[in-house]
Structure 1
Amino acid sequence: MNKTRKVSRNRPIPEAFRGKVYLDPTYDPAFKELFDSEDALRDFLDGVLGLEGDDKIKTLRFSFDKAVLFRVPQRSKVVFDIFATTGSGRFLNVEMQRLENDFFVDRTILYKAFLVIKGRKEMEISPEFKALTPEQQRYRRYLLPETISIWICDFDLPDAKGEYRDEWALYSRHAVREGKTVPLSGKNRYIFLSVPNFTKSADEVDCAADVWLYLLNHARDGGELPDFGSGIVEDALERIRVENADDELLQAQELNMTTKEDYESWMAGKVIKARAEGEIVGESRGKAEAEKKASDRTAKRIDYLRSMGVSEEIIAGAAAIK
């Protein structure tokens, strides 16, 4: 059954969204609206993890934009798009990544390191762990919970070009050489999903994972989408329907059409490559070339945003990103 949404809108729907039925959930604001329900996120996770029957997630707690802070020794922070914990003691982060960059693999490993430490700290303060005797706790001082990083990518996967799903884990080189491909630990998983490489039609969708990948890939097409007979999916689609979006969501979605963090990460890799290839030589020449490239990048960014129908106010803010 559809949830009634009270819409507060004081300005017309931006040009970028006119004629569209849904907001594009590969952008951060709509992505979080799509999964802003325990039922929706649990259905997605059950599908991606292949959980069925009694193995399905029973209880789930989650938060968006979860900042995880540590001192190692300097203050360090990562922000998970979605941080979730299950009643069975799993810890998960779900990330939506629109742009590919040269540090993508490094970033996934860094995020996973923070997730493992966060999971361990959360486990230590759980009622179950605290109920153990001091001796039992000491015995488990290296015990780690199950942690799963899920990366939803709007591009080809790093080592599985053309495929829409890949998994990473920790393997013994010797075991692999002997033909044994069982991970050293089942608690440490990376799952990667490529949205554009998911090419199944609506008729070919046959599991929960397929349903959510289909929505992520086709919500941006402009037209109505099937709910696949699921009230959970129906509600999720209503949350990203353009006519249901208030001003705050529309503005956030419009601004997020160009993200500073992803752009800077992508550019950092390009600059390093340019230097390695000798494109930036000499201080004065390098400065002139850098300024010209910066100007060209800004012009291309503005042209792209205008082609998407983004307002001039948002374009002005995007153009100011250096």
Structure 2
Amino acid sequence: MAPIPFDVDRGGVKLKLSLSSRLRVLLPLLPLLLFTLLFLILPSLVILLGSFFTNTGKFTFNNFARLLQPNILSSFLVTLQLSAVSSVGGAVIGFFLAYGVHGGGLPRSFRSFLLSFSGVASNFAGVPLAFAFISTLGRMGLVTAVLKEVLGIDLYGTGFTLYSFWGLCITYLYFQIPLMVLVISPSVESLRKEWREAAQSVGASTFRFWVEVALPILFPSLLSATLLLFGNAFGAYATAYALTGGMLNLVTILIGSQIRGDVLHDPNLGYALAAGMVLIMTVTTTLANILKKKASQWNV
């Protein structure tokens, strides 16, 4: 049987590829396709299908109806608040760091160090991060002891505790800020000097340049990056569980309790909770992609 030809247009010249040639072109994509199928598509299908059944295998919508219970709604609200606070805080601090390296007064030699550190720190989470913060900002932590003995500041006497909502927000900033630096650096670096010079030529101050030129151009990129940070915090589990021991009512901790817990063991409700998280993450990702496309018209 003769090989089936495929027409490929390259620079106005049509080439014919046989089926075997086309398969060889697609072969390098096979590992990615298998990874996507096994670790993204199939788990999502299992979660979605499992949320429509009871523990005895009967079809039901009750799992989704139970999402309206006060404690579950509260877990979603607390998780959304935690994600919003840590993402906005990380976005603001990360943006100023990125601007300081690419457009501010910080030395250029600091850029490679900051980007390298950000690449490592943005992936440092889970139990090691929780232990690191307990050792520094815990009740007997190093920073806590230094503040009390040297400066006379009793951090925990003010009502602060690392194992609370705000303590978790501070912990999340450790990986949120570096992630923002990595994401927003290309956009900050793409701000053209000609735009600033043009603004200055018509008498615009630095403040007016940022308010009327730079920030409107960067706004889609900033908002897109903030949404990315929001999704990053929204799905975090290990850090929150290791730091708070499940005392904070978060969706991810509640899902873990439903799936592998002894008292609250109800995997199908956990699947429904996960499906709700997937829906929120889908909306967040879609908005981030839309804003990213909008920002591309300025090449930032």
Structure 2 length as normaliser, TM-score?
Answer: 0.26
Q: Going by fraction, where is helix more abundant, 1 or 2?
A: 2
Structure 1 length as normaliser, TM-score?
Answer: 0.25
Structure of higher CA gyration radius: 2
